[in-house]
Structures are given as C-alpha cells and as structure tokens.
Amino acid sequence: MHLYDHPAEITNFRLAGLLNRSVARINFGGASLEVCRITSPCGDIERRFVMKGPSGVHSLLVEATDLKRLNAHWTVFASAPENQIAS
C-alpha cells in the first residue's frame, strides 16, 4: 500500500482556473479544493476556498487569501493522514 506524497503547490495558473471556474476543483488523495459561494450569517454572499476531506471542511475567504496563504492551508489540509487514500 502506498500513500501519496505532499500535494502539488497551487500555481497562479491553477488558481486562475479555480477563480474563473474553468477548473471545478483540485483533488489530492481524499481532499478537494474548490471555490464556492456561501451565504454568511449576516446574509452576505461570500466567495470562499472550500477544502473538503475525511478530516472535515476548512474554508478561507477568497478576497482575504493570497496564493501563499492558500498554498499553506491546502498543503497542511491535503497532506493530513485522514485525507490520504491508499493506492
């Protein structure tokens, strides 16, 4: 049984694809990353980077997240042991 290594860094090209919706989601092991529109508790509609996997869900506000921050969160989330799938 082999577990995946660390997820690939999200590049400017992949980020642009997520933001303009030409790329629906990025997957790594059992984790996924996509951009979703979510209604906040105040009723505002926010665009958020949403990471989902067996370990749970984590999201970041798109407007407040640069590529460096997104990569830091994605790398930790996607490489969590719970989010690994044996191949």
| Distances 65 to 45, 54, 72 between C-alpha atoms, Å | 16, 23, 11
Give domain limits for the chain: 12-81
pLDDT tens profile 34-77: 999 999 889 999 999 999 999 999 999 999 999 999 999 999 99
Residue 15 parent element (H or E): helix 12-19
Its pTM stands at 0.85
pLDDT tens digits for 66-87?
999 999 999 999 999 999 875 4
